[in-house]
Amino acid sequence: MKIVVTGGAGFLGGELIIRLLAAIDEGVLGLPVDRIESVDLVPSPVRDHRVISPIGDTADPEFLTEVISEDVAVIYHLAAVLSGGSEQDFDLAHRVNITATTHLLDAIRRLGTRPRFVFTSSVAVFGGDLPPVVPESHAPQPESTYGAMKAIGELLVNEYSRRGFIDGLTCRLPTISVGPGAPNTAVTSFASGIIREPLGGQRAVCPVPHDTRLWLCSPETITENLLHAARAETAALGGWRVVNLPGISVTVEAMLESLERIAGTETRLLVADALDARITRMVQSFPGELVTDRALRAGFRPESDFDAAIQRFRARTAPEPTAT
Ligand SMILES: NC(=O)c1ccc[n+]([C@@H]2O[C@H](COP(=O)([O-])OP(=O)(O)OC[C@H]3O[C@@H](n4cnc5c(N)ncnc54)[C@H](O)[C@@H]3O)[C@@H](O)[C@H]2O)c1
């Protein structure tokens, strides 16, 4: 059987595919899966004979019918237009974040096999007048196109699950930091950039005030929790198939203090402030902390602390020792 990862060529899709392959190798996946299909506009960068890359558009129903075959055990739906891109291009965001999600759910429904469907939502579904710690029952009130479309996706996944068409689970992801690679179109891209770039000796710009509080999680904990989502027990979640994934609540100032503690003052001084009102408005509409009890009860793992996230990022990006 196979696992399908839409958006498999993206940052998180690549990380997830590597983790899924390791779980197969370790014999801990718990599913009879022998290959992974990365469904994206471009091929997966992961080089492994078990990774296949059907190239196509998730908004194309014919393409989806080819990809969603009876031997699919789990579908991870990651393909999306991110927060900055959605704000810039409403029509593209609507096509990829809503129309494609509906086509995908319908292709799975036609199978009749009710596979596990994991949808990656975001804290951007929240907005409005938020309490300092957002309870599980807080109603989404998005203040961005991206957040509104993620909220619509959550409701679709919930309804298709309630009707018995899929076995759905929405994971609301914290902002990921410290992520590798280049900046992307997410308005929270700086949350990795202000750490990653200075650690690589490069200058970085911080577009938000330092007292801005973020709900963060490292890529390692996120991929571990997405792996868990493939077989997590959903019965205890009742009729609401949405969990807030664990994270840590940190201010930008605390992140920079972590950077200084680990890499020194000179490294921290590579970060300059250049306030961006648009980014600040959107990021400050997201919650800084959420209750995650339902996720923890369902076996998702908590995040540790931001120093550990930086240390892990450093360890994975450290150059290989050269042979002498
Ligand atoms: N990175 C984060 O901090 C974060 C936080 C919360 C939620 N998420 C969610 O996690 C998921 C993955 O995020 P990411 O950071 O890896 O994003 P990314 O931009 O790196 O990856 C998205 C992928 O989707 C693909 N894609 C876009 N439109 C497509 C289409 N029409 N057909 C096929 N593929 C298409 C892109 O080519 C890209 O490879 C997204 O759903 C995102 O909303 C990410």
End-to-end CA distance of the chain: 45
* 119 Cβ inside 6 Å of ligand 1: no
pLDDT tens digit string along 108-160? 999 999 999 999 999 999 999 999 999 999 999 999 999 999 999 999 999 99
For the segment 83-104, the average pLDDT, to the nearest whole number, is 96
Kindly tell me if the per-residue pLDDT of 247 is higher than 90. yes
* 7 Cβ inside 6 Å of ligand 1: yes
Residues 6+ apart with CB under 8 A from 139: none
pLDDT tens digit string along 200-238? 999 999 999 999 999 999 999 999 999 999 999 988 899
Kindly tell me if the per-residue pLDDT of 19 is higher than 80. yes
β-strand 72-77 against 116-122: which pairing, if any?
Answer: parallel
* 122 Cβ inside 6 Å of ligand 1: yes
What pTM, to 2 d.p., does this model score? 0.95
For the segment 254-271, the average pLDDT, to the nearest whole number, is 98
Q: What is the pLDDT of residue 260?
A: 98
Kindly tell me if the per-residue pLDDT of 187 is higher than 90. no
Q: What is the pLDDT of residue 323?
A: 53
For the segment 288-301, the average pLDDT, to the nearest whole number, is 96
What is the Cα–Cα distance from 6 to 16, expressed in whole angstroms?
Answer: 11
* 100 Cβ inside 6 Å of ligand 1: yes
* 170 Cβ inside 6 Å of ligand 1: no
Hey, what's the torsion of the CAs at 185, 152, 108, 117, to 10 degrees? 70
* 282 Cβ inside 6 Å of ligand 1: no
Q: Which of 17, 19, 40 has most ligand 1 atoms within 8 Å of its beta carbon, as the pocket-test mutant?
A: 40
Q: What is the pLDDT of residue 69?
A: 96
Q: What is the pLDDT of residue 181?
A: 81
For the segment 14-25, the average pLDDT, to the nearest whole number, is 97
Kindly tell me if the per-residue pLDDT of 254 is higher than 70. yes
Nearest atom (ligand 1) to Cα of 96 = 31
Q: Which of 68, 77, 120 has most ligand 1 atoms within 8 Å of its beta carbon, as the pocket-test mutant?
A: 120
Q: What is the pLDDT of residue 246?
A: 98
Nearest atom (ligand 1) to Cα of 121 = 7
Q: How far is the CA of 83 from the centre of ligand 1 (A)?
A: 10
Q: How far is the CA of 106 from the centre of ligand 1 (A)?
A: 20
For the segment 37-66, the average pLDDT, to the nearest whole number, is 97
Kindly tell me if the per-residue pLDDT of 324 is higher than 90. no
Sequence-ordered strand ranges (E) for the chain:
2-6, 35-39, 51-52, 72-77, 116-122, 167-173, 175-176, 204-206, 213-217, 242-244, 248-251, 271-273
Predicted confidence band of residue 321 (pLDDT cuts 50, 70, 90): low
Count of beta carbons in the 10 Å neighbourhood of residue 15: 19
Please give the backbone phi and psi of residue 43, each rounded to the nearest 5 degrees, phi first. -70, 155
Chosen CATH of 2-317 out of 1.10.3470.10, 3.30.465.10, 3.30.2130.10, 3.40.50.720: 3.40.50.720
Q: What is the pLDDT of residue 184?
A: 79
Q: What is the pLDDT of residue 186?
A: 83
The fraction of the chain above a pLDDT of 90, given in percent, is 93
Catalytic residue positions, numbered: 146
Q: Where are the domains of the chain?
A: 2-317
Predicted confidence band of residue 185 (pLDDT cuts 50, 70, 90): confident
Predicted confidence band of residue 318 (pLDDT cuts 50, 70, 90): confident
Q: How far is the CA of 260 from the centre of ligand 1 (A)?
A: 30
For the segment 268-275, the average pLDDT, to the nearest whole number, is 98
